[in-house]
Amino acid sequence: MPATKPRPNLRIGYGFDSHEFHPGIPLKIGGVTLPYDQGLGGHSDGDVLLHAITDALLGAIAAPDIGALFPPSNPKWKGADSVVFLGEALKRGRNAGYAPANVDASLVLAAPKIGPHTAAIRARIADLLGIPADCVGLKAKTPEGLNLQNTAIAHVVVLLEAHKSARKKKR
């Protein structure tokens, strides 16, 4: 019997993130700036959705998480564009021989309403991940019973598929 199983063709990843609303900063969700009088503070530009997608991608290949790769304590990442983190996660996935197949996300926040921006956010994420927009699921829910009126939360699952070219090269 072989010591290790062959590399799987599919890998699933899960990511979670949360940020607090603060007045007077831009609100970025999924790489899109939304019109609102408050934004998300904390790590980088506070893009809660891109952070959760990044962690899902990293988790799928069992890589270190976003906080380990881009420590919030490092001033370099203050206000940084979270697209940079997503790019690094995609690169690590590619190097491991995988590319995203589809992603599904749930946002939990009291305001603003995400519905009018869902199409724009899905299109942006699809573009960043190199997949069709109909492979990007996005739901927004209000924090019923959670008592988190000032917080934005994102849950994300992503499916990675083995690159055919990478498979050929390796075997």
* Closer CB to Zn ion, 17 or 153, in the complex: 17
- Assess 17 for contact with Zn ion (CB under 5 A): yes
- Assess 122 for contact with Zn ion (CB under 5 A): no
- Assess 55 for contact with Zn ion (CB under 5 A): no
Q: DSSP states of the chain as a string?
A: --SSPPPPSEEEEEEEEEEEEEETS-EEETTEEE--SEEE-SSTT--HHHHHHHHHHHHHTT---HHHHS-TTSGGGTT--THHHHHHHHHHHHHTTEEEEEEEEEEE-SSS--GGGHHHHHHHHHHHHTS-GGGEEEEEE--TTT--TTEEEEEEEEEEEE-HHHHHHH-
- Assess 51 for contact with Zn ion (CB under 5 A): yes
Residue sitting closest to Zn ion (CB): 51
Q: How far is the CB of 141 from Zn ion (least distance, A)?
A: 18
Q: How far is the CB of 23 from Zn ion (least distance, A)?
A: 19
Contact with Zn ion (CB under 5 A) among 21, 29, 30, 43: 43
Q: How far is the CB of 149 from Zn ion (least distance, A)?
A: 19
- Assess 124 for contact with Zn ion (CB under 5 A): no
Q: How far is the CB of 96 from Zn ion (least distance, A)?
A: 23
- Assess 45 for contact with Zn ion (CB under 5 A): no
Residues that bind Zn ion (CB under 5 A): 17, 43, 51
